[in-house]
Amino acid sequence: MIYRKLGNSDLNISVITLGAWSFGSDNAWWGNQPEKESFEAMDAYIENGGNIIDTAPIYGKGKSEKVVGEFLRKNNLRNKVYIATKVGLRWDSNNKILRNLKRDSILEEINNSLERLQIDYIDLYQVHWPDNDTPIEETAITLKELYDKRLIKAIGVSNYSVEQMKEFMKYAPIHSLQPPYNMFNRKIEKDLIPFCIEMNIGIISYVPLYQGILTGKYFFTDKKPEGKLRANSEEYRGERFKINKETLLKLKDIADKYHISLAQLAINWNFSQKGITSAIVGARNKKQSLENIKSVDFIIREEDFKLIDKILNERLERIKDEQ
């Protein structure tokens, strides 16, 4: 395993972060998930050097946090694993997701998360999404108080712009940013990555496999996208499907040279990019955990990085023409 310091924090994390959203067993979004398989996925991940698990209260209405907490307690692994969770997204009585980063809500949420996770501090506490109805100052000051009290060891933000981070940093430190980033979505390279490098803010990227698209499994087989998020994606429809399939075939040729899967190529490419500290990859079972971990077992050659860039740029041009 490869470890990197997370920005200006004291955390040294593995380049693969285990994403625990599926552990929430939310049928509406990610499908049913047996707890036993979640435990096995975490066990295989930690056994092979992974040391950070990313969860959130919104995943399964707290169930993901409970599953993570119970696994770590039963196996006495709290001191071997960093726990990253989030704040700011809540379910209302009508099963709708609301954004709330007001002080009182944050203080309530952290107490609930600590209880579900069965711990007395959180290693990385992240704002899940910006809340336009709450001043950033109020959110930042509240998280700074939790940081000063050592209830959280590092402060992160997710889905923030450069401008939002600049405002937040007037009142509290930011140790990490969690943005979407993958081969097919490289928007953060323009401004977010340079800013984070300049300010020594770690980046933990999410959706490195673009919700399964970069595995190729929905393009090279008759398997249909599962879950609400995947099923509704435009990437599987019309001309876009054809463009993506042809792009993935070219990337598969590169993966075949290394005797690896498309997914392993995409994960390695992700955490190998300048400014990226770690990539969050979900795993539903032991087999998926082990496959993800193997993404650290090879180094992509410079000429292949250039070829990948060429292939991805060609895809972008074709998509522009299609639109």
- Tokens coding 112: 């609930």
Look at residue 28 in the predicted model and tell me its pLDDT: 56
Question: 52 has which bridge partners?
Answer: 82
144 has a pLDDT exceeding 70: yes
Q: Which ranges of 86-172 does DSSP label H, i.e. alpha helix?
A: 103-117, 136-148, 162-168
Q: For residue range 262-313, what is the model confidence (pLDDT) as tens digits? A: 999 999 999 999 999 999 999 999 999 999 999 999 999 999 999 999 999 9
User: For residues 45 and 21, is the Cβ–Cβ distance under 8 A?
Assistant: no
* Of 193, 167, 315, nearest in space to 248 by CA: 315
φ/ψ (deg, to 5) at 94: -100, 15
64 has a pLDDT exceeding 90: yes
Q: For residue range 176-229, what is the model confidence (pLDDT) as tens digits? A: 999 999 999 999 999 999 999 999 999 999 999 998 889 988 787 666 666 555
Q: For residue range 217-261, what is the model confidence (pLDDT) as tens digits? A: 878 766 666 655 555 677 767 788 889 999 999 999 999 999 999
Q: Identify the residue whose tokens are 């398997």.
A: 223
In angstroms, the CA 115 to CA 112 distance is: 5
Domains and CATH numbers, the chain: 3-212+262-300 (3.20.20.100)
State the catalytic residues.
Answer: 59
Question: 17 has which bridge partners?
Answer: 280
SS3 165: helix
Instruction: Say how many CA atoms lie within 13 Å of 265 toward its Cβ.
Output: 25
User: For residues 292 and 266, is the Cβ–Cβ distance under 8 A?
Assistant: no
User: For residues 30 and 227, is the Cβ–Cβ distance under 8 A?
Assistant: yes
62 has a pLDDT exceeding 60: yes
47 has a pLDDT exceeding 70: yes
Q: For residue range 21-44, what is the model confidence (pLDDT) as tens digits? A: 988 877 656 667 789 999 999 999
Q: How many of the other CB atoms lie within 10 Å of CB of 91? A: 13
Q: Mean pLDDT over all residues of the chain?
A: 92
What share of the chain in percent tops pLDDT 70? 93
> How many residues can be counted in the chain?
323
* Of 253, 283, 260, 271, nearest in space to 183 by CA: 271
